[in-house]
């Protein structure tokens, strides 16, 4: 177990000796782990363990002080977030902000990457191409909303739906970006149990269809049920890594959560 689990055969995301300090605080302290293709990998740890910092480092929002991040075998360390996304790593946020003045399906349409209509000149030189891709994307967005059983929300203003529904829309939108690996930051925080169950079902379904997930979650029941393997983070470094069962019974993990370590 522990760091010995590396290297993995087919890692879609590989984090190697990643470091980041804020002032004197090492928020990420030589973190090393990998996410194997086809898994739902859980990332847990007590408050302040550095989970969100790690997410920001991986997705390019923070620049690491040291170490590397590889997506699909490409070194993406130090790249801009949009470049990391172009390599197939998409992330969601803990508290999604609602897109003002957009309907749900409009908000969905931000998802697809590299749309021809995102080039200003193409709008005028080749409007037909834009219309074609927009039609295709709209059909795909509506299909995904149907899969998520929220197609009735399609034409609702995005500001009018509940926080839980927004989390579903976020996940649905991320799927439109066709991620190789999807990072979910607390997908069920503040979501009611019924919707949380639905989200869990969706994540599992998408995983079976081939999407790899890395998710941060505080809801232990949720993460233990869904994720395998689980990476435990404490004070910025990887404490241990293993099956839910193994992690649950690991004394160091219990210590970290209960503060026995210090």
Partner 1 sequence: MSLLDDPKAAFADLSRPEGWVLGVSVAFVLFLFVAMLTGALGPTYFLFLVGLAGMYALLSFGLNAQWGFTGLINFSVAAFFGIGAYGTALMTASGSPIAGGFSPLVGLAVALVVALALALLIGIPTLRLRADYLAIASLGLAEVVRLIVLNERWLTNGSAGLRGIPGFFDGWPVLSTFPEAMPGLRLEVIPGSPVILETAFWQASLNVLLVLAFAGAAYFVLRRAHRSPWGRVLRTIRSDEDLARALGKNTYSFKMQSFVLGSLIMALAGVFYAHLNLYVGPGDLDPITTFYAWVAVILGGSGSNRGALFGGIVIVTIREGTRFLNDVALPIDPAPLRLLLIGVVIVAVMRYRPQGVLPPQRELIWPSAVGGGGTPETPDSGVRERKGGGDDE
Q: List residues binding partner 1 (CB under 8 A).
A: 59-61, 80-82, 85-86, 90-93, 96-103, 105-106, 109-111, 113-120, 123-124, 127, 130-131, 133-135, 137-139, 142, 154-157, 159-160, 173-174, 177
Q: How far is the CB of 123 from partner 1 (least distance, A)?
A: 5
For 217-220, which contacts have Cβ atoms below 8 Å and span 24 or more sequence positions?
A: 217/42, 217/44, 217/184, 217/186, 217/187, 217/188, 217/189, 218/44, 218/186, 218/189, 219/188, 219/189, 220/44
Distance CA 224, CA 248 (A): 9
Q: How far is the CB of 244 from partner 1 (least distance, A)?
A: 28
Task: Give 19 or 122: the residue with its C-beta nearer to partner 1.
Answer: 122
Q: How far is the CB of 211 from partner 1 (least distance, A)?
A: 15
The 3-state DSSP class for residue 244 equals: helix
Q: How far is the CB of 174 from partner 1 (least distance, A)?
A: 8
Q: Are 52 and 6 in contact (CB under 8 A)?
A: no
Task: Give 86 or 147: the residue with its C-beta nearer to partner 1.
Answer: 86
Distance CA 154, CA 200 (A): 21
Q: How far is the CB of 233 from partner 1 (least distance, A)?
A: 21
Task: Give 6 or 177: the residue with its C-beta nearer to partner 1.
Answer: 177
Residues shown for the chain: 262
> Does the bond joining 7 to the residue before it have cis omega, within 30 degrees of 0?
yes
Task: Give 17 or 106: the residue with its C-beta nearer to partner 1.
Answer: 106
Task: Give 19 or 159: the residue with its C-beta nearer to partner 1.
Answer: 159
């Amino acid at each position: 177990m522990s760091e010995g689990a590396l290297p993995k055969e087919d890692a879609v995301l590989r984090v190697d000796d990643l470091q980041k300090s804020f002032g004197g605080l090492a928020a990420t302290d030589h973190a090393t782990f990998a996410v194997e293709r086809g898994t739902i990998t859980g990332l847990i740890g007590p408050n302040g363990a550095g989970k969100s910092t790690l997410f920001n480092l991986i997705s390019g929002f923070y620049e690491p002080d040291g170490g590397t991040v590889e997506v699909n075998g490409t070194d993406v360390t130090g790249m801009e977030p949009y470049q990391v996304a172009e390599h197939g790593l998409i992330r969601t946020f803990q508290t999604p902000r609602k897109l003002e003045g957009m309907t749900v399906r409009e908000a969905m349409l931000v998802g697809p990457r590299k749309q021809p209509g995102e080039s200003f000149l193409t709008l005028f030189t080749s409007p037909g191409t834009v219309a074609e891709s927009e039609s295709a994307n709209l059909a795909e967005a509506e299909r995904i909303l149907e899969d998520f059983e929220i197609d009735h929300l399609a034409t609702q203003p995005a500001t009018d739906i509940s926080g839980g529904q927004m989390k579903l829309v976020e996940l649905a939108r991320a799927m439109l970006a066709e991620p190789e690996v999807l990072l979910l930051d607390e997908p069920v925080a503040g979501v009611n149990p019924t919707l949380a169950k639905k989200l869990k079902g969706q994540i599992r379904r998408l995983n079976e269809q081939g999407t790899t997930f890395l998710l941060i979650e505080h809801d232990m029941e949720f993460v233990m049920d869904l994720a395998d393997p689980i990476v435990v983070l404490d004070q910025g470094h990887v404490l241990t890594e293993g099956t839910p069962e193994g992690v649950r019974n690991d004394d160091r993990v219990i210590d970290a959560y209960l503060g026995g370590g210090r």
